[in-house]
Amino acid sequence: MQLKEFITTNGEIILYNGEPNFAKLEILASGGGDIWHSSFEQGYKNAFPELVYQTAVFFMFINDFDDLDESVSWRINPNQFAVRKSVWDQLNGFDTDYQNVQLQALDFGYNALRNSAAVPLYVKGLFKQNLNEEIKISAKDRYVFFRKNFKIDHSIYMLYREGFWKWNEWNAFFYAKKNFKQSPNKPVIAPRELLPIEGEPTVSYIIPTMMRQDFTLQLLHDLAVQTYPLSQVVIVDATPENARDEKMYQREDFPFELIVKWQETKGSCRARNEAIELCTGDYIVFGDDDVRVFPNFIENHIKILQTYKVSACNGLDIQADNQQQNLADLQNKLKKVQNSRWKVGATPNFSNANSCVKTEYVRKLVGNDINFDGGYGEDSDFGLSLFKLGQIVLHNPFSPNLHLKPPMGGYRFWGKQASVLGKKRKTQPWELDVPVKNIRPVPSPTIMYGIVKHFSKQQVLEYKYKYFFLYLFKGSKKGFIYRFLRIPYKNLQFKKSLFYAKKLNDLGIRHK
């Protein structure tokens, strides 16, 4: 493909096809994106829905976002797009193994986003022409895409879902299997050099905690020696009165405003929301109570947001081997992942254990959706909600934490009751007015709620198909008959989970 060149005022070369608005492209080149297109108005919005056969609902970007002027999107129109020349060269351009140039562009955008730490962006009105193209992808190209990008299992599953009785599907499957293999590791775009912090932005740090006062105090000591000082730390502590030391946090002087609120409500989502109301910083850092961080932790969060001109990032979460490990152990663990650590790009997940968000966007979302209290999934929901605001949420490898994961304490203490049945069970928030009785809902109803909340009915159905497909065929051969006989019961559990998820969804997003 012969692309034209546009040189920015900073001397960077941008390659393009079509007729872009160069003034707008100049501005975009100074931001967090690497590839730009206006494909939504050109017939590409939500193109190639067959990706659901591999990713089900566990890819934040399987659906394009609605009603935004800018958003992360990998669905590139090959006839009208722009890309940094450095990125085009590193990613080796379009893959000509595909017969269809449309799928060449989709494959390029998909791999750029999911594997190569480049950020493709939809930008409304960047290109002058909006010709609505018809997307025609042959079965052969579809199977080649799956064969080159995923394990063969996913091609087999697509064959099952598309119709194993169709000869053209079998023909395409065998063609791809014979002629192609899964591609090796994809190239990764190196992070930009972080720029010095501009101005004096203020930063608030939120710590929800429960029965882990000693770990929280340890974290406070890490936060007290930051190279970029925090202005405020807000602790919301749910430790019961008979187990708490109310003076523990006040025995030392810290170089930031320390606010301690004793939580009277239940749930980590409510705790974060109560803390958000008390925050005064320009940025809010979300952290768990059981982490350790280096002195440049806060500094690098602010630097990466300012360098890439974005409003949110998610730090690198490193799991400890035991709760006694320290920052020296974190340094050793980082050395082991040195080759795979350095990638930025749009984060594929989000964690409230280590993230930094511009306060104005936290306020737009209000906070965590309390429908997730008592379960899991609030992190991913918050991250996906930021993307739905049109924000780029970056993965930040410069601000790692060591996650100690002690066996006792924490908000999961309440959630452990979810696995209990009978009279000893304590009702979970997501049960609402219908307590669980004899059938325990599986998967977690709050995880299911996040799926129902963000994905289409057809995608929820595809998730169910894949859930049972994997349950049947991914276990040992000896246990197949047992798993097959348990399918009716597993289906009841799935329906029960979906029941609670739909009830939560009917309530709508809640923050109090």
Distance CA 352, CA 350 (A): 7
Q: What are the domain boundaries of the chain?
A: 4-179, 203-403, 420-507
Q: Which residues contact 179 (CB under 8 A, 6 or more apart)?
A: 144
Burial level of 478, CB count in 10 A (0-12/13-18/19+)? Answer: exposed
Distance CA 353, CA 286 (A): 6
Q: Is a pLDDT exceeding 90 seen at residue 421?
A: no
Q: Is a pLDDT exceeding 80 seen at residue 245?
A: yes
Compute the mean pLDDT over every residue in the chain, rounded to the nearest whole number: 93
| pLDDT level of residue 251 (50, 70, 90 thresholds) | confident
Distance CA 443, CA 465 (A): 14
User: Under a CB-based contact definition with an 8 Å cutoff, are residues 291 and 401 in contact?
Assistant: yes
Distance CA 202, CA 229 (A): 9
Torsion sign (Cα): 27, 31, 34, 37: negative
Q: What is the pLDDT of residues 180-222, one digit of tens each?
A: 999 888 999 999 999 999 999 999 999 999 989 999 999 999 9
Q: Is a pLDDT exceeding 90 seen at residue 146?
A: yes
Q: What is the pLDDT of residues 449-466, one digit of tens each?
A: 999 999 999 999 999 999
Assigned token pair, 299 = 């500094």
| pLDDT level of residue 420 (50, 70, 90 thresholds) | low
User: Under a CB-based contact definition with an 8 Å cutoff, are residues 20 and 41 in contact?
Assistant: no
C-alpha 9: how far from chain center: 34
Q: Which residues contact 440 (CB under 8 A, 6 or more apart)?
A: 418, 419, 421, 493, 496
Please choose, from the candidates 210, 219, 267, the residue with its C-alpha nearest in 3D space to the C-alpha of residue 243. Answer: 210
The pLDDT value recorded for residue 349 is 87
Distance CA 95, CA 118 (A): 16
Which DSSP letter does residue 418 get? G
Instruction: Name the CA radius of gyration of the chain, rounded.
Output: 24
Distance CA 294, CA 198 (A): 21
User: Under a CB-based contact definition with an 8 Å cutoff, are residues 172 and 139 in contact?
Assistant: yes
Return the number of other C-beta atoms located less than 10 Å from residue 425's C-beta. Answer: 16
Q: Is a pLDDT exceeding 80 seen at residue 346?
A: yes
May I ask the CATH architecture of the domain 203-403? Alpha-Beta Complex (3.90)
What percentage of the chain exceeds 70 in pLDDT? 97
How confident is the model over 32-50, as a mean pLDDT? 96
Q: What is the pLDDT of residues 272-306, one digit of tens each?
A: 999 999 999 999 999 999 999 999 999 999 999 99
How confident is the model over 341-368, as a mean pLDDT? 94
Q: Is a pLDDT exceeding 60 seen at residue 324?
A: yes
